[in-house]
Amino acid sequence: MRAEIISVGTELLLGQIVDTNAAELGALFAEVGLSHYHRQTVGDHQDRLVAALRLALSRSEVVVTIGGLGPTEDDMTRTAISEAIGQPLVPDPAIEDHLRDIFARRGIKWTDSQVRQAERPSDSFVLSNPNGTAPGLICPFGDKVVIALPGPRNEFVPMARGPLREYLRSRDGGEPIVSTLLKIVGLGESQVEKQLLDLMHSTDPTLAPYAKVGEVHLRITTQGAGKAAEDKLNRVAEVIRERLGTAVYGSGEETLESVIVAMMRDRNLTLAVAESCTGGGLGGRMTAVDGSSEVFQGGFITYQNEVKTRLLGVPPAVFDTQGAVSDECARAMAAGAKDRLGVSHALSVTGVAGEQSVSENGIEKPSGLVFIGLATPTRVISVRHQFAGNRETIRARAIQNALAILRQDLLGDK
Amino acid sequence: MRAEIISVGTELLLGQIVDTNAAELGALFAEVGLSHYHRQTVGDHQDRLVAALRLALSRSEVVVTIGGLGPTEDDMTRTAISEAIGQPLVPDPAIEDHLRDIFARRGIKWTDSQVRQAERPSDSFVLSNPNGTAPGLICPFGDKVVIALPGPRNEFVPMARGPLREYLRSRDGGEPIVSTLLKIVGLGESQVEKQLLDLMHSTDPTLAPYAKVGEVHLRITTQGAGKAAEDKLNRVAEVIRERLGTAVYGSGEETLESVIVAMMRDRNLTLAVAESCTGGGLGGRMTAVDGSSEVFQGGFITYQNEVKTRLLGVPPAVFDTQGAVSDECARAMAAGAKDRLGVSHALSVTGVAGEQSVSENGIEKPSGLVFIGLATPTRVISVRHQFAGNRETIRARAIQNALAILRQDLLGDK
């Protein structure tokens, strides 16, 4: 069975946004065993969108549009699908109720233009959208189907990964392409490749490494269904885990922070943070984990030196000698946070995230110089890093490395 | 003159890579004044690529392929173009010399498969590739043209920005497409559209709204060069600013947080945060602004009730009556942060980010219920919000609304 994507939006053609949704959907097609030979991108233009739909329906059984479902005049996916498959748009009271409910909760006035979002082609049914107004639509057309998904990323992703995946799986596709993802920290992409050189050349399963910020993801892929395919993936994953040891921190949807929360929860450990150059980003990442409140107690954002002293008890002498970007300061911050919140573990970050170097007491601190501190029940340590990149990259690497240092300590402390 | 992109590569359809090259090329089309209505993506398949080329040539004057120029069997862009425009491939001695030279310098053995890369359609000419082996090709076809660019990003980008841009500019294209972006907070997409309904129907400049998390971006676009085009955009932007008033918070690269930093810096104001359910994300976003250290002092991540009391002085009675997710708690957190850090302004966030509702003292607190507190030199307020969505969306909306509330206060306080 062939599937085809039509990405809708003038902003895509103008290059104002990159089409990450289409890539995600392509991966989903592969996962559920749909062949995928064409993709089209068209602007917000009724006639061109209708033509694209007709072309897609002439060669593919499943046609999925992304975008153009909003309430405004340039959102024309609903009307274009209606025209292409010859089904009139009908108002759907259930959708309207859902919309009115959202608007009431957000305190936004209901306007007539909203009614457009409550219409759907007559034979279609709805994919619910918990994260936005416009629902997705499944529009059967003979033995083919047109599926309309919203474009905003926070609405598209949950719908694609949830109800759309379920729907596509329930159709009779071919052999699925299945894969498993291993996540690796502390080794670079080329180091990973070097240690797995023989496996990298395998054609079934295939291995593909992807470099991420401060970690490497390794996708193992094969085609097939059921236990045989699963066993094949697991055997290779097992070999890789043996070779790379604890550098493999997790798999699938696991993240470095979710793994840490699980480790600490199992051992009744608690965590606090003290952040300077990351400004709260480390705490933000830890608390993105559902259930983190069992482990994470709180923290301190100490952007100014006086605040480091007032909240964490960093001795002013540290600033007068080594400066705030130093091993001494990182350790004092971690120890102060641990002490003040009575936790078992505290992480600290202090560094130069800006793209200019700074000078403290005549000591040059280059852009990207970051110290990470860790206080545990038995010791207080710090680690010096020199990161490259812009403000955003330096901060992301600092957070990633702080998490890696904490995990390493927890592994050694079993 | 119409231009169209054909992105070539099975890895694009499988979603293994995101098509950033096509976005970059779309922006280039806009810059040089080429209209751009369609994009196609096809896999490494000769017949489908030929069909895509023929479709593109039927409706566009300039067709640009990206990818499929390498030496391997699945690189078939050259042969597909040859077939689509009916020109045989001929060996080009100059390309072969260039290739042999590169291989000699890299110490790689010359093999017969490399010869493929030295062939080109008979009437074509070459775009040199200083960063790789395969040159780009310009293949005139009557009064139309097919242009083939390499896919690897480090080869594509210099070729697109250098010789391709020059070539496209030298053709008799139209006027460049120029645009400006206004950023709006506090109004939904449909409210914006309703207030600008007459302008939304304008065809020059055109207006396109985009819904983002907690804000709306409005792109104003026209075609033309120099001051006349700029004036045209500015006139419309001025009308929009008049109609929407302070809802327009900025333009271009400005963000809500960068605007706040600029406002507070100009007036020597200082900021602290106290975060519960956002766990540091609000501080993280404020400190993502270069120069935020002139304004942002620090903050408190108070994930547990005891920590709210210990660090911020929230009275335990609050937890025993209204609970931590309440107006009272938000206000006490903001006041506590302001007091402890001696700042002029403090923002607080407390709420239910998880997808399950929680019960505090028998009071049901549904998922997405968030209270934002603000302490200023003259008052302490709190605002209740009910957000929809998953953990990530709720937290993002909470942060966005906290920033919007602070900005609103600063505007009133001029």
B28 contacts in chain A (CB < 8 Å): 15
Mutating which of A7, A8, A13, A59 best tests the B interface, going by the most B Cβ atoms within 10 A?
A13
Chain A residues whose beta carbon lies within 8 Å of the beta carbon of residue B194: 111, 113
3-state DSSP helix/strand/coil % of chain A, to nearest 5: 45, 25, 30
| Residue A115 DSSP class | G
Write down the pLDDT at residue B224: 81
Residue from A15, A21, A14 nearest A5 by CA: A21
Residue numbers in B near A25 (CB within 8 A): 15
The residues, ordered by sequence, that sit 6+ positions from B268 with a Cβ below 8 Å of its Cβ are: none
CA angle centred on B299, ends B298 and B305, rounded to 5°:
165
Q: What is the mean pLDDT of residues A100-116?
A: 81
- Which pTM does this prediction carry? 0.75
Rounded Cα distance, A207 and A184, in Å: 14
At B202 the pLDDT is 82
Which range is least confidently modeled, A161-165, A277-281, A291-295? A161-165
Instruction: Report the residue of B253, B303, B387 to disrupt the A interface, i.e. the one with the largest count of A CBs within 10 Å.
Output: B303
Q: Establish if A190 touches chain B: CB-CB under 8 angstroms.
A: no
Average pLDDT, chain A: 92
Q: Which of A219-223, A363-367, B242-246 has the lowest mean pLDDT?
A: A219-223
The DSSP secondary-structure symbol of A270 reads -
Residue A233: predicted pLDDT: 94
* Closest A-chain CA to B45: A37
Closest CA to A375 of A402, A397, A396, A414: A402
Which residues of chain B are under the pLDDT cut of 50? none
> 3-state SS of A313-343?
CCCHHHHHHCCCCCHHHHHHHHHHHHHHHCC
pLDDT at A149: 97
Whether the per-residue pLDDT at A411 is higher than 70: the answer is yes
CA distance A30 to chain B (A): 6
Q: Residue B139, SS3?
A: strand
Residue contact A154–B17, C-beta within 8 A: no
pLDDT of the residue at B173: 58
Contacts of residue B310 in chain A, CB cutoff 8 Å?
340-341
Containing H/E element for B350?
A: strand B345-351
DSSP run (H or E) holding B59 = helix B46-59
Task: Name which residue leads in pLDDT, B19 or A171.
Answer: B19
β-partners of residue A64 are A5, A147
CA distance A264 to A282: 16
- % of chain A with per-residue pLDDT over 90: 68
**Residue closest to B297 by CA, chosen among B339, B259, B255, B325:** B339
Of residues A202 and A14, more confidently modeled: A14
Taking residues A173-202, what's their average pLDDT? 83
Contact by Cβ (8 Å): A333, A374:
no
Nearest residue in chain B measured CA to CA from A98: B388
**What is each CA distance from A403 to A258, A385, A398, A410, in whole angstroms?**
10, 14, 9, 11
Neighbours of A399 (CB within 10 A): 28
| pLDDT at position B172 | 61
What tens digit of pLDDT does each residue of A109-133 get? 887 778 888 999 999 999 988 788 8
Give how far A270 is from chain B: nearest CA, Å.
Answer: 11
pLDDT exceeds cutoff 90 at A209: no
Type of residue numbered B168: L
What is the rounded average pLDDT of the residues A282-293? 96
Contact A32, A79 (CB under 8 A): no
Interface contact A162, partner B, CB < 8 A: no
| Distance (Å) from the alpha carbon of A337 to chain B's nearest alpha carbon | 11
Q: Which residue has the higher pLDDT, A66 or B112?
A: A66
Q: Is the ipTM of this complex over 0.90?
A: no
Q: How confident is the model at residue A174 (pLDDT cuts 50, 70, 90)?
A: low
pLDDT one-digit tens code per residue, A139-167: 999 999 999 999 999 899 999 998 898 88
- Inter-chain touch B26–A15, beta carbons under 8 Å: yes
Q: Say which of A154, A208, A302 has its CB closest to residue B16.
A: A208
Contact A24 B15 (CB under 8 A): yes
